[in-house]
Amino acid sequence: MILRNAEINWNVVPKGMTILFFGHPKTWKTTVASSWAEGGRDSVLLIDTELGSDFVPGINRIICTSLRPPVEHVYTEDGKIETDGMGIPKTKITEPKDRGYVYTVGDLIGQPMPTYSLQEAIDYIFDQIYDNNFPFETVVIDTVDEINTWVEQEVIAELKIPAMGAREYGSDWALARDRVTSIISELKKLLKQRGINLILISHAKNTSFIEKDKTKIIQKSADLPRGIAKKIMGMCELIGYVVKDDKNQVHLSFDGFEEVQMGSRLRPLQGKKIKFSYQDFVKEITSYKQEKKGEKHE
| pLDDT tens per residue, range 132-154 | 999 999 999 999 999 999 999 99
CA within 13 Å, CB half, 8? 15
Mean pLDDT over 120-137 rounds to 96
Look at residue 104 and tell me if it is in a domain. Answer: no
Q: What are phi and psi of 75, to 5 degrees?
A: -110, 150
Look at residue 83 and tell me if it is in a domain. Answer: no
Count of domains forming the chain: 1
Say what the pLDDT of residue 11 is: 85
Look at residue 89 and tell me if it is in a domain. Answer: no
Write out the residue range of the structural domain in which residue 216 sits. 18-68+113-286
Look at residue 76 and tell me if it is in a domain. Answer: no
Report which of residues 204 and 291 the model is more confident about.
204
Q: How far apart are the C-alpha atoms of 42 and 51, rounded to whole Å?
A: 20
Mean pLDDT over 263-288 rounds to 90
Say what the pLDDT of residue 151 is: 97
Look at residue 243 and tell me if it is in a domain. Answer: yes
pLDDT > 90 in the chain, percent: 66
262: domain CATH number? 3.40.50
Look at residue 105 and tell me if it is in a domain. Answer: no
Look at residue 292 and tell me if it is in a domain. Answer: no
User: What are the start-end ranges of the H helices in the chain?
Assistant: 29-33, 118-130, 144-159, 171-193, 226-235, 278-286
Report which of residues 204 and 185 the model is more confident about.
185
Say what the pLDDT of residue 181 is: 95
* Beta-bridge partners for 221: 205
pLDDT tens by residue, 212-250 = 666 555 556 788 888 898 899 999 999 999 988 888 899
Q: 273, exposed or middle or buried, with CB in 10 Å at 0-12, 13-18, 19+? A: middle
Look at residue 95 and tell me if it is in a domain. Answer: no
pTM exceeding 0.85: yes
pLDDT > 70 in the chain, percent: 89
Say what the pLDDT of residue 203 is: 92
Say what the pLDDT of residue 298 is: 41
Query: Does the pLDDT value for residue 208 go beyond 80?
Result: no
